[in-house]
Structure 1
Amino acid sequence: MLTDENVQVLRLVIAMVGAVSPNFRRVSLEVVDARKVHLWFLLAHDHSEDREEIDDIAFEFESLQDRGIELETTILVDARPVEQLALPGRVVFGRREATPSRA
């Protein structure tokens, strides 16, 4: 249901405040069902500090729930254009990236 998804998006945005570094390329949220959520994080480079921040985001996100959920988190490290990666779910964060010009 869209209302449930909107609530989860708001919770994720709150959990991400102050945690997103310039290395974060995209974050999406997939509500699988009423009790299962999948968070997707796309990084430009693999950095332990960003992985720790993602763990903190997931912890904060879970703490904002009004009931227990099953949370899955996937971290992808990839430099390809975002359009080629087709991350599932609803985009919650996306950094501005230069698009290659076509001559």
Structure 2
Amino acid sequence: MNDRDDIEALCVVQAMLGNIVPEIRAVSFVRREGGVELRVILERSNEDVSEAVDDIVFELEALQTSGESVWLSSVVDSGPWESVVVVGRLVYLRRE
């Protein structure tokens, strides 16, 4: 990990403030050329959850200082935590 990853982790956490809903199980990110991929694992999806995730993406885009893109990758997985695969740097993990 490097300083850029630390800054990005801080930006993701800041973007999540006020936007976490109980259905979000985990949030991680992967730095890619030209931007960051935000990876969200959901227990289930509905309109309220989609709105919360969209708000996180919007806030994260606003925090990108160098004009980098933000891509969203979301997965719905309500199975046992042991079977869930988290890719990238983990910044949020729901207590289960």
TM-score, structure 2 normalization? 0.91
Residue identity matched to 1:91: L
Q: Report which of the two structures shows the higher radius of gyration computed on alpha carbons.
A: 1
Counterpart residue number, 2:14: 14
- 1:5 CA displacement: 0.6
Identity of aligned residues (%): 34
Distance in 2, matches of 1:40 and 1:82, equals 16
Pair 1:36 & 2:35 matched: yes
Counterpart residue number, 2:75: 76
Residue identity matched to 2:56: I
- RMSD across aligned positions (CA): 1.3
Deviations 1:4-42 (A, max 9, x none): 011011001111001101111000111123x22100111
* Deviates further, 76-85 or 22-31: 76-85
**Residue pair 2:61, 2:69 contacting (<8 A) in 1 also:** no
Q: Which residues of structure 1 form unaligned runs of 5+?
A: 98-103
Alignment of 1:1-103 (within 5 A): 2-33=2-33, 35-97=34-96
Distance in 2, matches of 1:37 and 1:29, equals 7
Distance in 1, matches of 2:52 and 2:21, equals 9
Q: How many corresponding residue pairs? A: 96
